[in-house]
Homo-oligomer: A and B are copies of this chain.
Amino acid sequence: MRIRAAVLEEFGAPLVVDDLDLDEPKAGEALVRLVACGVCHTDMYTASGVDPSGYAPTVLGHEGGGVVEAVGEAVTSVARGDHVVTLFSPQCRECEHCRSGKTNICTAIREQQNSGYLPDGTTRLSRDGEPIRHFMGTSTFAECTVMPEIALAKVSPEAPLDRACLFACGLSTGLGAAMYKAEVEPGSTCVVFGAGMVGLGAVAGCLLRGAERIVAVDPSEERLAMARHHGATDTWAAGPDVVDRVLDETGGFGADYTFEATGRVDVMRQAVESARMGWGLCTIAGVAGRGETLDVVPRLLITGRRVCGASFGGVRGRDQVPELVDRYLAGDIDVDAFISHRITLDEVNRGFELMEAQDGVRSVIAFD
């Protein structure tokens, strides 16, 4: 079939919306017609050419929400008509990692996905007979995509897909960091560094877990106002004095849980140093620049602080994205508040510009 899709032709240049060919789903795969797709930092990061593992041409996009239009052989978990959220982080339920119960990092198709291929090592995308590689196993800046069923979360059909799509990446990463990775305990004190999509999700996740005090830290007053909306009890301007202030306001001990959602290693260090003596857990969710390190004073570890990180917030996509969407439907998460702009596929580059200008939190592409 012919589809329109936003193609990364050349690093550092705007995406080009073009007509491509999309093959039918093979065994274990499904054809999904996209209804909406968020524009995320990772798309822009790859488009910029900074990511050394990036490649072009490819169809970007990974925060997709859509409807299954057809399935290949042996597909059992989704069927035509199902509403789905696309998962760059699949869940095969069979590999050693999935069976371990200790991680959400499925290894079943990791290698092929990272190289731009579907599990059988080929692509469904092409142009004039030339294969075009997939991106993050998703390639959802397109009217339709073909994906492995293990990378599709079947969600309630009651959830509008232009909201549900945000659970495909940033929002779930933040919510999951608090709910599934850190497993924040009721009554806790939490500090969230960064109030973008991931940080705001972490604030919301801390609230859902019953945290008593949730401090959001960000340079932008506008984002701090959003943090208050999502549950922050305190909002502080970012700066070098934040660690001292956390210690001052916690009797010298620090916060039970800290979250880093900026990707800056100096802020990661603040997050570690703000964690509580004895048992404070610092969860790193931001993606640092290549070659940068988080420098930890070992004494902080010896005296009980712990450091971990979360890819996709530790969320097991097929099991837990539907749960999170249900929490949204139950009124527990105000997803609408994250959507600052609605754009068309042809306006995808505007989505990057808005993100670069830190204008709003999320642009969502609506497909016709």
Contacts and interface: CB of A to CB of B under 8 A. Distances in A.
Interface string A280-320: 00001111100011111111111111111111000000000
A108 to B, nearest CB: 13
Contact of A308 (B105, B287, B306, B309): B306
B293 A297 contact: yes
B295 A293 contact: yes
A297 B291 CA distance: 8
Nearest to A278: B103
Contacts of A298: 265, 268, 284, 286-288, 292-294, 309
Interface in A96-121: 97, 100, 102-103, 105
A317 to B, nearest CB: 15
Contacts of A292: 298
A55 interface: no
Contact of A287 (B97, B265, B293, B302): B302
A301 B307 contact: yes
A202 interface: no
Contact of A278 (B105, B300, B301, B307): B105
A11 interface: no
A309 to B, nearest CB: 3
Enumerate the 3 nearest inter-chain pairs by beta-carbon distance, A residue then B residue, closest first: A301-B309, A103-B278, A293-B295
